[in-house]
């Protein structure tokens, strides 16, 4: 599908949903299994590029055969054998024998080694064969926009470990269901990051993404073991250039720069690693500690205006050519700063939802404390919560949602250090309090 069609897939998505509903017993996710390519033209990638990729694969194998090269490239043996035949005709490799039907043994020729040295200086990528940008754009948009509405059960399960007000739960449910962005602000230590992380668990189903995409003989790696969690596949009859994953969670904090949001070449020439927002397609992208980056908040937020409004982004190749990619993710901007300090009205009106996290009330603080104590199998001494509340009042401290967990963990450490039974009492909490909020070393 041409890239200009990214914004006009509603009809196709509705058709797919109706087909899934009419096909009794069909899993809706099965509609998106990338079909196994039967011939070279099905790959949608330049034939010369595939030949160079296959040559690099042959050079890496100690005993290169059609089957081993096919496995490395994620292609069928029939297509791989056709590609290797082309290399034989160009006198880059030669056949050394037959292993089985459509499975030959090869060896590199001198001309092949010379050609390999030349193409590696231009493009050193050697992994699964990439898919076209058009194929990637079409499939990711269809998958995300055909998702069922987030259920209340999924929302409750995802937020089970968080103590939130009904209003906050509703906003998070609307964000997850609509796929819109969220501006999450408030004092530090009240669960903004954990709340943003929890959103990804509300998203239903799985996704298919390619290992890499190809544009003008340039390769962009999409799949990242650190961001993407593989899911089992029930069949082998699919295009192995794609991988099935859970909706991803991608975190970007103080290390984020404007340059990291575009294509950046690594130490090896000829291919790029996809930026944060591309890896997050189909999932959740969290911009944590907004305002702490090495670029100004205004510059960073202005970078997101077009993607948030039009659901597409533009990346620049080293040749200067701009390419259009889908921007299909929930973006969460989490910050301790006030909205007025970092965002103007032009940006805020493009945000889907806003949520301000207040410090916990005494009842909420107590609920967090008791809930975390239960997870540790600990009983709470009667009157302990009143004791803690009084300490906050005397020291004029504003409670934070993270502090019940932190105090309990330190109370456990105190008991272990003192070689006594682990318990939550005034004495253990007071010792934990001194270490957590700061003890006086000299009298």
Q: Average pLDDT of each block of 10 consecutive residues along the chain (443 residues)?
A: 41 41 46 89 91 94 93 93 94 91 91 94 91 95 90 87 87 90 86 86 92 92 93 90 95 82 76 92 89 76 85 91 94 82 72 87 93 93 94 92 94 94 94 85 45
Q: How far apart are CA 146 and CA 9, in angstroms?
A: 10
Tokens of 296: 């100004």
Instruction: Enter the CATH code of domain 362-437.
Output: 1.10.8
Measured CA to CA, the distance from residue 63 to residue 279 in angstroms comes to 34
- The whole-number pLDDT of residue 23 equals 39
pLDDT at residue number 191: 84
Within the chain, all domains assigned CATH 1.10.10.10 are found at 46-122
Cβ neighbour number for residue 311 with a 10 Å cutoff: 17
According to the model, what pLDDT value does residue 18 have? Answer: 40
Residue 14: CB atoms within 10 Å: 12
Give how far the C-alpha of residue 189 lies from the chain's centroid of Cα atoms, to the nearest Å: 24
Using CA atoms, how far apart are residues 207 and 281, in angstroms rounded to an integer?
A: 10
pLDDT of residue 259: 84
User: What's domain 131-356's superfamily in CATH?
Assistant: P-loop containing nucleotide triphosphate hydrolases (3.40.50.300)
Domain 46-122 falls under CATH 1.10.287.110: no
DSSP track, 356-415 = EPPPPPHHHHHHHHHHHHHHTT--B-TTHHHHHHHHHHHHTPPP-TTHHHHHHHHHHHHH
Cα angle 199-243-121, degrees, rounded to a multiple of 5? 115
Question: Could you give the residue range(s) of every CATH 1.10.8 domain in the chain?
Answer: 362-437
- What is the Cα Rg of the chain in Å? 27
Answer yes or no: are the C-beta atoms of 115 and 131 closer than 8 Å.
Answer: no
Instruction: Map residue 315 onto helix, strand or coil.
Output: strand
Residue 200 exposed, middle or buried by CB count within 10 Å (0-12, 13-18, 19+):
buried
Euclidean distance between CA atoms 356 and 368, whole angstroms = 19
What tokens were used for 230? 């593989």
59 near 264, Cβ under 8 Å? Answer: no
Give the integer Cα–Cα distance in Å for 126 and 50.
Answer: 10
Give the per-residue pLDDT at 411.
Answer: 95
- Rounded CA-CA distance 145/178 in Å is 10
């Amino acid at each position: 599908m041409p890239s200009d069609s990214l914004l006009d897939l509603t009809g196709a998505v509705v058709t797919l949903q109706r087909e899934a509903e009419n096909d009794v017993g069909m899993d809706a996710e099965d509609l998106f299994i990338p079909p196994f390519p039967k011939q070279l033209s099905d790959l949608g990638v330049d034939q010369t590029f595939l030949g160079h990729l296959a040559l690099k694969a042959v050079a890496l194998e100690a005993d290169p055969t059609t089957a081993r090269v096919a496995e490395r490239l994620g292609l069928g043996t029939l297509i791989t054998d056709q590609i290797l035949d082309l290399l034989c005709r160009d006198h880059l490799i030669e056949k050394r024998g037959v292993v089985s039907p459509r499975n030959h043994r090869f060896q590199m020729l001198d001309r092949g080694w010379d050609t390999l040295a030349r193409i590696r200086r231009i493009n050193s990528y050697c992994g699964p064969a990439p898919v076209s940008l058009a194929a990637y754009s079409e499939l990711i948009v269809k998958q995300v926009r055909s998702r069922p509405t987030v259920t209340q059960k999924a929302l409750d399960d995802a937020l089970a470990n968080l103590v939130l007000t009904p209003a906050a739960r509703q906003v998070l449910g609307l964000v997850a269901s609509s796929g819109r962005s969220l501006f999450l602000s408030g004092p530090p230590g009240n669960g903004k990051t954990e709340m943003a992380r929890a959103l990804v668990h509300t998203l239903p189903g799985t996704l298919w993404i390619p290992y890499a995409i190809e544009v003008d003989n340039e390769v962009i790696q999409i799949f990242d073991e650190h961001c993407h969690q593989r899911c089992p596949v029930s069949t082998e009859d699919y295009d192995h250039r794609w991988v099935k994953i859970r909706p991803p969670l991608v975190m970007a904090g103080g290390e984020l720069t404007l340059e990291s949001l575009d294509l950046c070449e690594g130490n090896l020439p000829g291919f790029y690693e996809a930026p944060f927002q591309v890896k997050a397609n189909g999932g959740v992208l969290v911009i944590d500690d907004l305002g702490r980056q090495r670029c100004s908040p205004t510059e960073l937020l202005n970078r997101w205006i077009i993607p948030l409004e039009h659901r597409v982004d533009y990346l620049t190749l080293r040749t200067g050519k701009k390419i259009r990619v889908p921007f299909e993710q929930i973006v969460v901007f989490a910050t301790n700063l006030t909205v007025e300090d970092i965002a103007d009205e032009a940006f805020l009106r493009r945000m889907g939802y806003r949520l301000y996290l207040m410090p916990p009330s005494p009842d909420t603080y107590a609920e967090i404390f008791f809930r975390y104590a239960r997870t540790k199998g600990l009983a709470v001494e009667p009157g302990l919560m009143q004791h803690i509340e009084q300490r906050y009042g005397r020291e004029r401290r504003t409670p934070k949602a993270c502090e019940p967990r932190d105090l309990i963990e330190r109370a456990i450490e105190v008991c272990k250090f003192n070689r006594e039974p682990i318990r939550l009492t005034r004495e253990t909490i007071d010792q934990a309090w001194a270490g957590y909020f700061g003890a006086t070393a000299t009298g």
